[in-house]
Chains A and B, each alone.
Chain A
Amino acid sequence: MQIENHMPQAKDQVALKVLGPGCKRCALLESHVKQALERMGKALEVQKITDIPEILAYGVVQTPALVLGEEVLITGFVPSPRQIQEMLEGKI
């Protein structure tokens, strides 16, 4: 087993990251996240992580995924903007 509890150092606790090697569903997740942020009136930057070892370091094996700070909120599916808003509510 090579699974380790090693996580990349967070520079910014509230950074939102969309993880995915650049497929259609990753782009869809990114646009849903941006719509959710817009509805909440938050101007938060959404980073894109496409590097596969970096994605795996988060323990994500199914893309697309959404990470807030170091916490993986979603992996492997694309919720609607409203559902993403509910997940982010109170966290940012």
Chain B
Amino acid sequence: MSPAILSKRSPWLVWFLAALVWLALYRSILPFWNWVVYELLGMQTKTHLGEAIHFFFYDTSKILLLLVAIIFVVAVLRSFFSVARTQALLGGKRAGAGNLLAAGLGVVTPFCSCSAVPAFIGFVSAGVPLGITLTFLVASPMVNEVALVMLYSLFGWKIAALYLVSGLALAVVAGWVLGRMGLERYVEPFVFETKVGRLSTNPSQISWEERLAIGVEEVRSILGKIWPYLLLGIGLGAAIHGWAPADLFERYAGAGNPLAVPVAVMLGIPLYSNAAGILPLVEVLHQKGIPMGTLLAFMMAVVALSLPEMILLRRVLKVELIAIWVLVVGLGIVLTGYLFNLVL
């Protein structure tokens, strides 16, 4: 039976088999690369070259497998949410509880930065307070599934959970603070005048087949976009892992340098690589002695404060508001970095 016929008859069987294949692959990559690198290629363990090559292949395959699974699952879950529904849920909410809800919805609502402008106007016209809208816009890129997967696979679930919780908390607090500052005058006036039609959601219920197709499409589009960064990041990581002197980074950005966190955040803002390219580097920099808080702060600045999104939002927000936003979120990230350096 060809796969096409099979998928027509029983889509669930196909997905179940795919999950099994994934699991089998995931469990066999470590023995597989051990065998290829150390036996087939005859590399020595505990040598720079052997370790670097093993690191590159094992990490690449592990991260790719995890990304495929998580991007797929997240995209399917997100297909149950929509910006229109989120907007309706947040309309007229008060600060505080509204910010909490907005942060949660920011994570699960399918949202690409190209929708940021229409979504922003939609939120304002639905009576969502500015601070709550900003919480949504901060949480959405900040808590990023690619970053979450990579943190989990490189550092374990504790660091991943810490990133998730602190990302949400930061979005809530930053949005709340920005809301208290009364910045409505820095929203472009046309936003309040734009007429929004009766909200359209997808009229016919989306079928499971469509949801799964959305998942596949999302995996394809995200991986298609990030793979060069991923390979570059892991390649650089492998090189540093193998050869960089142990104390090189620690000397400049180790726990002894109090300026390391703000400098890391400032470096991260203009860098709009993505989590995929940054995290393999973060892993080796951590091994070379840079504290986790500094590195997490760097990564948060890279994913949450992106120049392209700011430029898009400039159409609806005045420069003053964007500057205050970057300042408040950036400051929050710096504080989070210091906090982690203290507790970790």
Contacts and interface: CB of A to CB of B under 8 A. Distances in A.
B is bound to A: yes
Nearest to B217: A78
Contacts, number: 122
B213 interface: yes
Interface stretch (B25-33, B195-203, B297-305): B195-203
Contacts of A63: 114-115, 118
A56 B114 contact: no
B195 A1 contact: no
Contacts of A21: 114, 117-118
Given A52-B118, A52-B121, A72-B203, A62 B82 contact: yes
Contacts of B197: 3-7, 56-60
B210 A53 contact: no
Contacts of B194: 2, 52-53, 56
Given A25-B114, A61-B199, A78-B217, A1 B210 contact: no
Interface of A: 1-7, 20-26, 52-53, 55-63, 65, 71-80, 83, 87
Contacts of A7: 197
A3 B199 contact: yes
Contact of A80 (B123, B126, B199, B213): B213
B122 interface: yes
Task: Count chain A CB atoms within 10 A of each CB in B79, B82, B196, B214 and give the residue with the most.
Answer: B196
Contacts of B115: 61-63, 76
Interface of B: 79, 82-84, 87, 91, 110-112, 114-115, 117-119, 121-123, 125-127, 190, 192, 194-204, 206, 209-210, 213-214, 217, 221, 315
A3 B196 contact: yes
B226 to A, nearest CB: 14
B213 A59 contact: no
B119 A61 contact: yes
B96 to A, nearest CB: 22
A75 B79 contact: no
